[in-house]
Amino acid sequence: MAKPVFYYCPRTRADTVMWMNEELGGVCDVKVVNLKSGEHKQPEFLKINPMGKVPALVHDGVNVTESAAICAYLADAFFDKGFAPPLNDPKRGAYFRWMFYAPSCIEPMMLDKLGGVKRENPMAAGYGTEADVLKSIDVALSAGPYILGDKVSAADIVMGSLLNFATMFGAIEKKGKIADYIDRMTARPACVKMQEISAKYASELGL
């Protein structure tokens, strides 16, 4: 199997995928996309991601975008590394549920909160209310120590990375179960390595 090519810029959501890549032992070829110089809006990159955003992945001629989708894709492509439950495992439900919950509910709630956006109608807002999101995160983390119980999975990389950002930016308070989970996840060697890589590229690019 050819190596996936991972289009990366430090200090962005691409760090989530870099973390996933490190968990898998560095399975991707990394191509740095310089957001500062606008490389991500050049025709060549727009063919890969018409959004002109990182992260993106190209593997066997297939383009994959969206951080959570890339993490899920890599976990399946390198299934032997144990970051996705097998097809017939009932844990697959919780795995996808929380993998998608992070970008479709936690992130919009976080961005609305940080941007001071008030949703008048929680029935129409996909995430409901901030309180609904916090209750759901509590449910997601209740199996512990990881989302699927004893075994870490790609859903934890997505959730751990987003919760870390959300608490760093003050959208979610870092306390209780959430604080324990973030500390457990960010202490993983792959996360520490990702932070080093991100810092190194950020300094090279002057970001």
Ligand X SMILES: N[C@@H](CCC(=O)N[C@@H](CS)C(=O)NCC(=O)O)C(=O)O
Does position 28 interact with ligand X (CB under 6 A)? The reply is: no
Does position 155 interact with ligand X (CB under 6 A)? The reply is: no
Does position 145 interact with ligand X (CB under 6 A)? The reply is: no
CA pair distance 194, 138, nearest whole angstrom = 26
Does position 53 interact with ligand X (CB under 6 A)? The reply is: yes
CA pair distance 15, 54, nearest whole angstrom = 10
Q: Indicate which single residue of 10, 55, 85, 160 sits in contact with ligand X (rule: CB under 6 A).
A: 55
Least distance between ligand X and beta carbon 99 (Å):
12
Q: Indicate which single residue of 66, 74, 75, 109 sits in contact with ligand X (rule: CB under 6 A).
A: 66
Does position 160 interact with ligand X (CB under 6 A)? The reply is: no
Q: Distance between alpha carbon 112 and the CA centroid of its chain, in Å?
A: 19
Q: Indicate which single residue of 6, 8, 10, 12 sits in contact with ligand X (rule: CB under 6 A).
A: 12
Closest-by-Cβ residue to ligand X is: 53
CA pair distance 79, 93, nearest whole angstrom = 17
CA pair distance 142, 29, nearest whole angstrom = 36
CA pair distance 155, 145, nearest whole angstrom = 13
Does position 13 interact with ligand X (CB under 6 A)? The reply is: yes
Does position 103 interact with ligand X (CB under 6 A)? The reply is: yes
Does position 59 interact with ligand X (CB under 6 A)? The reply is: no
Does position 67 interact with ligand X (CB under 6 A)? The reply is: yes
Q: Tell me the site size for ligand X, rule CB under 6 A.
A: 11
DSSP codes joined into one string, 148-180: TBSS--HHHHHHHHHHHHHHHTTSS---HHHHH
Does position 74 interact with ligand X (CB under 6 A)? The reply is: no
Contact 95, 84 (CB under 8 A): yes
